[in-house]
Structures are given as C-alpha cells and as structure tokens.
Amino acid sequence: MGKQDHLLLTPCDREPIHIPGSIQPHGLVLVADTRSRRVVAGAGALEDRLAARWLGEPLEALLGQEVFKQLDAPGQPVMGQVLEKRVSGSSETFDAILHSTGDRLIIELEPVNPEPWEAMRFLSQLDGFARTFERAGDLMALCRRAAVAFRKLTGFDRVMIYRFIDDEAGQVIAEDSNPSLASFLHHHFPGSDIPRQARALYVRNRARSICTVDYTPMPLRPAGFEELDLSDVGLRSVSPVHLQYLRNMGVAASASFSIVRDGVLWGLVACHHDSPRRLPRDVMIAGTALGGALSRQIQAREQARAYDERLRLRAAVDEVAPAFSSPQNETEIFRDLGHTLCRLLDADGFAFVNDETVQLSGIGPEPQTIMDLTNWGLSVSPAEPLVTRRLSERYEPARGWPERASGLLLLPLPDQGKALLWFRVDEAEQVRWAGIPHKPTEGDARALTPRASFATWVETVRGRSRAWTLEDVDAASRLGRVFTEARINLRMRRLNKDLQKSLAERDGLLEQKDMLMREIDHRVQNSLQIIGAYLVLKAREAGPGPVADHLTEAKARLSAVAHVHGRLYRSDHPETVDLGQYLGALTADLRQALGDEWRNCISADFAPLLLPSSSAMSVGLIMTELVINATKYAYAGQPGPIDIKLQRHRGNLRLSVADEGAGLSATPRSSSGFGSRMISATVGGLNGKIEYEDATRGLKAILTAPTLV
C-alpha cells in the first residue's frame, strides 16, 4: 500500500459509522429510558407523522401498547424484536422494532408494506428459493441462482453476489441484472470500499437498505444524543462517503444482505437500483432469512469440497508413508519421492533440507538459495508451517527468482535444521477492477472521498502463485508427522534389536541371581521358622509367667523381621515395601500369638504407603513393641481394646497404637528395659519421634517419621 492510499484509507477505517447521530428520513426513531420508561430522544418527522407531543411522554402510551411486557428476556439486551401490534401514526401505520443499548431502548418505526405478504405466500416463496439453492451443482451455480432469487425478492435492477478474498478485497462472483446496465461480474473491489468497521456491522446487522442516496439525514434530538450507538438500527444514517460512492456508481437506492459463515463475513448480496426504492420490513426479513439459507448452503458445499480434498490428500499421504520406513537415509528417500510429493500438493518443486544438504525435485531456487531461505523460514516460524503465495513480499531476495518460487509452504521438522519445502512458481494474473483501486483522488489528499470512476481497469499482477489451501497445509503437516513417526520407529527398532541382545545376556545373569536369592530365602525362612517354633515350645514348657511373656515378645519381634524378609525377597521391587500390607500381616500374627482372648480386641486400619524395606522393618518392630506394652500394662494383663492406625500426614507416616486402659501411670517409665531401649534406638534410626497422649481414658502412642528415610 502506498503512502497516498494510507492517507485515504486510515480515516475511512476510523470513521465512526455506528454513531452517525441521525437516521434516514423514511422512518422514525424513539429513544426511551428503561428506568423511567419515558421518551428521552427521537429522530425524524415525529410531530407530523406520530404525535405533536412525544418528548418526555410515557413510551407505552405513545405506542398504544404494553412494550416492556413483550420483551423476550426482560433486563437482557434486545436486538431486532418486533412488537406484536403495529403503531398508528397521524396518517400511516408503522412496524415497531426494538433494540437496546445500555439503559436506552431504541424503537424503530417503519411504514408498513402497502401490499403486505400473506404468510402462505411468504413461506412458499422462501421454500421455493431454498429448493433452488439445494439443486445447484456447485458453489458458482449456487451463487448464480442466489442472485436471481434475490432480484425476484427485492425487485432491484442489479443483484450481485460479492465474495471477500485476499487483502480484504472482494470480487463479484455472480450477478443478475437489467440487460441495459453495465456488468460488474468478475470485477474486483479494493478492501477500502468496505472498511473494517463496516464489515463488523455487516456481521452484527445482517440486512441494510438505503431508499435513496439523495436523502437529508434526520438528526437525533434534543442535543446530547449525537453519540448514541445505532449499530443495530436499520434506519441508521449512512456515511456521506458511501452515499457519494453509490452516486458515482450511478446507483439511486441499494440494499445488502450479509453472507456469514461461522461468524465470519464471507460475502454480501449487494442490490442496486437506478431510482429510489424502499424495501418494506417484511421483505427485509425475508431477505435476511434467504441470506441465512444461502450461508448454510455455501458452508455445506465448502465443507463437502474440503472433506473430499482431505480424503484425497490423506489417501495420497498414506500411499507414500511406507517408504518412510525404508532403511535408506532420509536424503535418498526424498530423492526417490520428490516428484510424487510435488504432485501431492500440486506444487512445481519440492525440497528436503537436512543441515547442509538440499535435495531438490522439480522447479526451485539454487541449493544455497534454498538453504538461506530455509534458515530464514525457520527463524520466522520455527515450529508451525510457513505459508505464503507472495514470497517476495515477505522475503526480499525472492524478488530475484519469482519464476522459481513465488509460493512457499515450509514445514519445520522436529530435528534441528530439517524442513520440507514446496514451491509454486509465479503465475501472472489479470485482475479486472471496478475503477482504478490505487488512483489518488483529486484535491486534498487527506479528504475522505470515494473514487469517481468504476470503469473496468485491468491490472496484471505478478509475484503471486496459486493459493495454498487449508487442506494443503493440513496434508503437509500430516506428512511431516508420518515421516517423523516412521523415522523414530525405525530408530526404535534398531535400538530394540541391540537391546534384545543386551537383555538376553542380562536375563542369563538374572536367572543365576534368582536361583541364589531363592536358596538364601529358603534357608533364612527355615532358620526363622525353627527359631520361632523353638520359642513357642519353650514358652509352653515354661507355662504362664514372666518367662513365657518374654518368649512370646521375642516371637512377635521375630515375626516382624520374618515378614519384611519374606516380602523383600519375593517382591518385584525388593527395595520398597507396602507398609500397610506388611503391618496388616504382622498384626494378624500378633493376634495369633496373643491367643484367642485377644483376637477380637485388636482393630487395625492401615493406609497404603510405600517405604524402604529397612524402614518398614523398623516400623514393624516399633508397632510390635507398642502392642505388647499395651497388652501387658493397659488392662493389667487382661484383654481390652487396642486400636492401630497408619496414616500419611503432611509428607510423614503417622502410626498410632491406642488403648482404653489405665493410661500412662500404669506404664513403666524405666528406659533401661530392652523394649524401651529398642524403641528409642529404632525411632532415632528413622529420624522420627514418638509421643504419648495420656487421655482421660487410656494411652495413645504416636510414631511420626518421614516417608523417605
């Protein structure tokens, strides 16, 4: 864009067309305050056409009906809601359409159609048009039928289907007009003809009409409402620039209906007439509905075309995918596939770049030039595809070789410095413009004025290739993924082969180790069982008394060691033990060792918690000692409740043994006994601490230690 164009277009894009401060004179507008429900402003010949007194009057009294009860969602924004009853004016009847902006309710009053459509005729004609759309063979046929349908609906002299293309410019792709008029079919219009804020309003307000380009705007009154947002108001006054634009085209009246796809303005149905012509509200509603039907048909056809193209490209990628698993090096693979990959994306050339190597197939720049281009592309877009049909506008050196690469699709690969590149050569294109799009206006260059001529002007455009589609980019991305996965899988197969050899050697060593470990485990378990049986036998021979008690305690401690040893040598992960399972098994042994009278007195709840094997053994010994102490001192040797719990608490293990017996006073305080010395040493080895809570009833011993010891 040149400096002169920038001066012209920037003010155009900034023109506040949504707050013109006035309306077209064929209708009326009332503005009401939603809190007081009184009219605070208006526009148009209200005194002559509606009521002599209107300012400050209650809105509902002025319109002769309850307005606020009719709102679809009271308290919510209102856009285009039609009141149930028509409004009677001084000598005419109006349709009333409601909109809201902030705390203002805007009421449009448009004269009713003198020949209103009957519902049956309305629906029948719309259904007929929709069926015509459905029978269209392709997108262009659909648009041609749409131009005919809208011309029948509106009665305008010319109807054009206008599609937005590159650089926000547009092209007339279908037209139906009076044969006496000059045709704009296939003509392009620059993006400045429909500035950005106008396109935004076309998405928001799908129908727009101008009864005559020579009207005198009717301002909002009283003063102070010039900045009121009229974005949704169909009677909103049009930019003087646009009115002059239409006059320069020889248009006396116009209407437009938006074609919106997925919330984006795809195009417009532009209607022109060579004399003033007003479209009644019912025709505007019909046109809006027909525009919606056209939008859906366009979307369906474009989606179907895109789906078919994706299927074709997916099949083509799948066809070449097996070659990526070849044991050949990557450069050789792309040397063999280069021309196939050119055809896949309808490209003129393809290149694979790997560090300092360039493998080119078809048409493209010189290898060193491709390397430089790749380095630039990876710096601009290191992870996502870089796509352009105008490479010279983004990469200055490309101006020197448009016949080799004007279009570029560069796909970065995960490995550093690797990329796939597709090239399309320059294709000279003759663009037919409606007037000279870049011609400066005469006079003050800063003035906001439209161009004066729309005579056909042909421009030969160079430095552009055929456009890349989203399907092309998706296919290239999928090809890159398939290639990367195939090479990773190939490397994995090679590594697996080497690994299998190493595993076979390791398995032999592990088998020898397992035999040795089983033998050690067998001998240790036998020894522990013999010692345990000997202790039980001696306890029975000694009979009730201190000796038997000491032997029983020793047997319990031995069980704690035996359980850890068994889990250690039978586990797949001998370095860790599930402390909850281990303590549960140990508790079962304690119940058996203490006899039937204690079996139902000991309750346990152990949370799962992984702990190093050596630490688990220490915790088991501590629990065993605490349970033995409780059985000896809490109830004076008689059975009583003992509750054992294991929990995870703030990154630590928390083991508690609680009874309901005599409390701390009944427990010996000497620290010289074997049990006390063992508990103290074992707790120290765990870097933990043990606390005793002397409750009103019973004693609770709590061991706290880190889980990573």
445 — pLDDT class (breaks 50, 70, 90): very low
Does residue 148 carry a pLDDT above 60?
Answer: yes
pLDDT tens digits, one per residue of 472-514: 999 999 999 999 999 888 888 888 888 888 888 887 777 776 6
How many other C-beta atoms lie within 10 A of the C-beta of residue 31?
20
Cα gap 169→316, rounded to integer Å: 34
Does residue 573 carry a pLDDT above 80?
Answer: no
Do 680 and 599 contact (CB within 8 A), yes or no? no
Of 246 and 551, which is predicted with more confidence? Answer: 246
569 — pLDDT class (breaks 50, 70, 90): low
367 — pLDDT class (breaks 50, 70, 90): very high
522 — pLDDT class (breaks 50, 70, 90): low
Do 562 and 555 contact (CB within 8 A), yes or no? no
Cα gap 522→516, rounded to integer Å: 10
Q: Which residues pair with 358 in a beta bridge?
A: 353
Q: Which of 349-363, 416-430, 626-640, 668-682 has the lowest mean pLDDT?
A: 668-682
Do 105 and 98 contact (CB within 8 A), yes or no? yes
Of 614 and 647, which is predicted with more confidence? Answer: 647
Residue range 82-87: average pLDDT? 92
**What pLDDT sits at residue 359?**
95
Q: Which of 128-142, 147-161, 433-447 has the lowest mean pLDDT?
A: 433-447
Contacts made by residues 8-16, CB under 8 angstroms, sequence distance 24+: 8/192, 8/440, 8/441, 8/445, 8/448, 8/449, 9/192, 9/195, 11/446, 11/448, 12/192, 12/195, 12/241, 12/448, 13/195, 13/196, 13/197, 14/197, 15/195, 15/197, 15/239, 15/241, 15/448, 16/197
Comparing CA positions, the residue from 409, 421, 402 lying closest to residue 354 is 421
Does residue 283 carry a pLDDT above 80?
Answer: yes
574 — pLDDT class (breaks 50, 70, 90): low
**What pLDDT sits at residue 3?**
37
**What pLDDT sits at residue 553?**
66
Does residue 11 carry a pLDDT above 70?
Answer: no
Cα gap 378→474, rounded to integer Å: 18
528 — pLDDT class (breaks 50, 70, 90): low
Does residue 161 carry a pLDDT above 50?
Answer: yes
User: What's the mean pLDDT when you consider all of the chain?
Assistant: 86
Task: Pick from 193-197, 335-339, 520-524, 541-545 the range whose average pLDDT is largest.
Answer: 335-339
pLDDT tens digits, one per residue of 90-113: 999 999 999 999 899 999 999 998
DSSP for 287-337, please give it: HHHHHHHHHHHHHHHHHHHHHHHHHHHHHHHHHHGGGGGSSS-HHHHHHHH
The residue with tokens 């010994």 is 621
**What pLDDT sits at residue 641?**
93
Of 549 and 83, which is predicted with more confidence? Answer: 83
561 — pLDDT class (breaks 50, 70, 90): low
Does residue 194 carry a pLDDT above 70?
Answer: yes
Does residue 122 carry a pLDDT above 70?
Answer: yes
Does residue 329 carry a pLDDT above 70?
Answer: yes
With residue 610 as reference, give the H or E element that holds it. Answer: strand 610-612
Residue range 509-523: average pLDDT? 68
517 — pLDDT class (breaks 50, 70, 90): low
Residue range 243-252: average pLDDT? 92
**What pLDDT sits at residue 17?**
84
Does residue 278 carry a pLDDT above 50?
Answer: yes
Contacts made by residues 140-149, CB under 8 angstroms, sequence distance 24+: 140/173, 140/174, 142/294, 142/297, 142/298, 142/301, 143/173, 143/174, 143/298, 144/174, 144/176, 146/174, 146/269, 146/290, 146/294, 147/174, 147/175, 147/176, 147/269, 148/176, 149/290
614 — pLDDT class (breaks 50, 70, 90): confident
Does residue 169 carry a pLDDT above 50?
Answer: yes
Helix 281-320 with 139-154: angle, nearest 10 deg: 180
Of 708 and 142, which is predicted with more confidence? Answer: 142
Helix, strand, coil percent values for the chain (each to nearest 5):
45, 25, 30
9 — pLDDT class (breaks 50, 70, 90): very low
How many other C-beta atoms lie within 10 A of the C-beta of residue 299?
15
Of 57 and 696, which is predicted with more confidence? Answer: 57
Token pair, residue 57, equals: 């009057």
Residue range 299-319: average pLDDT? 93
Of 426 and 668, which is predicted with more confidence? Answer: 426
Token pair, residue 51, equals: 């009521």
Residue range 325-349: average pLDDT? 93
Does residue 149 carry a pLDDT above 80?
Answer: yes
**What pLDDT sits at residue 182?**
87
Does residue 6 carry a pLDDT above 50?
Answer: no
**What pLDDT sits at residue 296?**
94
Does residue 7 carry a pLDDT above 50?
Answer: no
**What pLDDT sits at residue 293?**
94
**What pLDDT sits at residue 298?**
94
Do 315 and 151 contact (CB within 8 A), yes or no? no
Do 653 and 707 contact (CB within 8 A), yes or no? yes
Strand duo 158-164 + 170-177: pairing: antiparallel
